[in-house]
Chains A and B, each alone.
Chain A
Amino acid sequence: MLQKKICMLGGFAVGKTSLVRRFVQSIFSETYLTTVGVKIDKKSVVLSDKTVDLILWDLAGEDDIGSFRLSYVRGATGLVLVADGTRAATLTVALTLRERTEAEFGAMPFVLLLNKSDLADQWTISDDAINEMRQSGYQIYLTSALSGESVDDAFIQLASLVSK
């Protein structure tokens, strides 16, 4: 049994929880997010040579980065950063959160999900910016909670990164 602790980080209302709802096993209700500040789900990813159980710590999204419970990230081996493609500020929040965790716990693999790709007309993040980030090695996925687009691919990518 191979398990990895993964933290899902992102600003307020970027759609982390609804993005993964259809793809994960879950026993806890979403009220945990507002009470304990974290909700734990499980995603089993089948890779070519093994199966990895990603234990997803879905941390409550807050735009006030200072109130972020950093201790929940301890022991994580990977991150899922989620930003809302229609609010460019959330990308900054996600990247800042990553910087903070890196400063505290060291660098770790991550994937960046730009969510709400179904709302193309409200999109605010330029393709150039995305390409630039990709060139600097970021694994970026345009996702949609509505269609479930690319979500599985992102999990597979992250699983192979953390189980290397």
Chain B
Amino acid sequence: MILNDLIAVKEKELASQKKIVLRCCMAAGCISSDSKGVKEQLEIAVTEAGMQDEVEVRGVGCMKLCCEGPLVAVDPKNELYVKVTAENAPSIIASLKGGKANVEQTDPDAAFFKKQLSIVLANSGIVNPERIESYIAADGYLALHEVLNEMSPKEVVEAMTKSGLRGRGGAGFPTGLKWGTVAKSPGAKKYVICNADEGDPGAFMDRSVLESDPHSVLEGMAIAAYAVGADQGYLYVRAEYPLAIARLHLAIKQAKSLGLLGAGIFDSPFNFNVEIRIGAGAFVCGEETALMMSVEGKRGTPRPRPPFPAESGLFGCPTLLNNVETFANVPAIYRNGAEWFAGIGTEKSKGTKVFALAGKIKNTGLIEVPMGTPLRTIVEEMGGGAPDGGKIKAVQTGGPSGGCIPSQHLDTPVDYESLGKLGSIMGSGGMIVMDEGTRMVDVARFFMEFCMDESCGKCIPCRAGTVQMHNILDKILKRKATGRDLAKLEELCDMVRNTSLCGLGQTAPNPTMSTLRFFRNEYEELLQPDTFGAGATHSQPVTK
């Protein structure tokens, strides 16, 4: 394949585009409420109405407002139908000829959509994730072509550094710096790994990206591989994402058949193959060193760093490991230029961030907003606030590694530093909204139980410390604990955080510590009076 071939594919795809496109969500969320049936009925109705030549029913990825699924969008009428059923779907087709469909609609220009800025999700809900031509029609693989033909690996790294992109897996390490380190690490064999082991409770951003736009991740990985000098990539996806895995398999196959993956990509000397590795359900395998052990076929447990994967990673070779969303940002950065990307967001946090908005909020779903957007905008304007007129109490970010941000801090801009200052983290993008009915000690116990269950068991502080912390939280909730127990809990939080081997243990105390910081009264209300030393006068017995 050369550039002209790519452009030919794009033009053919655009030329064959029909006048009316019905985009029907085929991501896991809507499929679970029968969007497959909806799509089938839409197709039948189109045929019955004899409109095959004018109307395309296109299966697309996530259209973001997940709580209202299945979603069907009509182009170019700019209509968005919600909660479509197989039964009422045909009335949408009928309405194309005039009249009104007997289906609920929502305003596609509402704040939930209008306040979004799509880079990662630009193709989500637009392109058909099962057809590479659809991605190419949206300028897919153009960035890869440009990078391979017009930039040296060094320039690719420099552009990434200039863009200011930071790792979207949670820690926010500068991506350009990571790429540069791997590029400079000596070694004939290098690897690129995409971490798609999304495991935070309530988080589904990466799943949606993989289901909706798998090629953007593959293209991002290929660009990264070229930059660092790797020829082999692995996509580590958790087994709980069967649809994402199926679409990735298909995407890899299609990309290979067009010469966009494999040997001599775009007739250049650059080779890059991608294989999928399926995670067997351990949360800890999202930790990079554990993930690599798992890819190697070993028990997925982390190992101490240094050495960092950039120097010695998979099979002891220099390895670049980025998360799904990080890779999905890459093609757009090279298509539009590093300056364009650096112009979005805040001084230290560039670009956008995708969040999975969930919990006690009216509009649940996926949102992508520029870095620096205040939490209030996300939760109140876009999310529509708590349902049934409830009051928002806190927003949890970062899942089991993150913290709870109380409502008085809702004006905090969403960026790495601001969230860190509040004792939370950006995390991979889970955002759980809690209302006044949520007990914060419950929240702390929930996440502690999660970490306890998911601890790999290798290091003692995480393995045994989470058990003790969980037991104390449980005791507090059962109203059996005293101030002594709370003191022990705090001491353990500090110890587990500072001595655990990997990120799982180091961040496991975060939800507890952050709820203790902002909602200490809720803990104290549950404490019992300390009768432990009743009557004792602890003075030394002296010779009388």
Do A and B bind? no
Binding site for A on B (CB under 8 A): none
